[in-house]
Amino acid sequence: MLKIGDFSKMSKVTIRTLRFYEKEKLLSPTKIDKTNGYRYYENRQLLDLARIISLKQTGLSIDEIKKIVLDNEPMLDILKSKKIELEGVIKAYEHQLSKLNYLIKEKNMKEEIFEKTIPACCVYYKEGTVKQYSDLSDFIQTSGVECLALNPDLKCATPDYCFVNYLDGEYKDHDIKVRYSQAVVKNKENFNENNNIKFMELPDSKCICIYHKGAYDNLGESYAKIMKYIEDNKITIIDYPRECYIDGIWNKENTDDWLTEIQIPIK
């Protein structure tokens, strides 16, 4: 038999670690001298220790190792579960690495791409066709007037959240099919609707986002940038992009001060 010091040297494992494994009942000494407390191990226990170390190096926790060593749970099932967990961690790190590479290469930090979750909300919406993009403001305004006529007590959610979806599936410079949505406070069971004004519940939405500063004429540049980011990172889009108007003609005289957020729902 080997004293704990010699066993430590042969296994290249510290005495402190051996005592920890003993405490956790993963590897107990073959013999403990009652007079002096010396601990002794047998050579065959080097194999048991090697197994513990090997499992630990895969990233298994002590509790997971116990399930294999002490409880005889199927090792393959635990390893497969750990593999799935690590693949998720790797995917998260790959996303962070991609983001770092983007930030390193990106020169215009005013158009930062980021990910966030939009909380679930109730919205009223109206779909229709505008002849050109400049008619969108009138479409939004008349939607609000029509909705309030049906629901005089309706209140917008705080903070304000409204957006436009383009429903054609491709870029069009005229006769553009749009949907305008406005988040509202849901203070009763049912709202009044008509052929134009409808209500729906939106679930939580994970989105890739970018802020666009300036006139709407240049929004295409921001769309191109965010779509390239999504393509480069193999991200799956699950719904129409949302064009969110934060500052615009209603509160900013200078078009340079207009602020729009593009939100693209992703898987």
* pLDDT mean over 139-151: 95
Q: How far apart are CA 171 and CA 186, in angstroms?
A: 34
Token readout for 72 is 């005889």
* pLDDT of 166 over the 60 cut: yes
Q: Give CA–CA dist 61/20, Å, rounded.
A: 14
What tokens appear for 145 in the block? 């007037």
Distance CA 123, CA 79 (A): 45
> Is residue 110's pLDDT more than 90?
no
For 171-197, the pLDDT digits (tens) are 888 999 999 999 999 877 789 999 999
d(CA 111, CA 256): 14
Q: Could you tell me what percent of the chain has a pLDDT over 90?
A: 73
- Read off the pLDDT of residues 17-36 as tens digits, 9 standing for 90 and up: 999 999 999 999 999 999 99
Instruction: Give the side-chain half-sphere CA count within 13 A for 150.
Output: 17
What's the mean pLDDT in 207-214? 92
What pLDDT score was predicted for residue 85?
A: 92
Nearest to 246 by CA among 128, 164, 161: 161
**Average pLDDT of span 53-64:** 93
Position 98 confidence tier, pLDDT thresholds 50, 70, 90? confident
* H or E segment and range at residue 6: helix 4-11
220 burial via Cβ count (<10 Å: 0-12, 13-18, 19+): exposed
- Report the C-alpha gap between 77 and 163 in whole angstroms: 46
User: Taking 90 as the threshold, does the pLDDT of residue 206 lie above it?
Assistant: yes
Mean model confidence pLDDT for the chain: 91
pLDDT value for 109: 47
Instruction: Give the pair of three-digit tokens for residue 242.
Output: 């949302």
Q: For 76-86, write each residue's pLDDT tens digit.
A: 999 999 999 99
What confidence score (pLDDT) does residue 169 get?
83
Rounded mean pLDDT of 155-169?
93
**Quick check: 221 pLDDT over 80?**
yes
User: What is the distance between the alpha carbons of residues 192 and 147, in angstroms, rounded to a whole number?
Assistant: 8
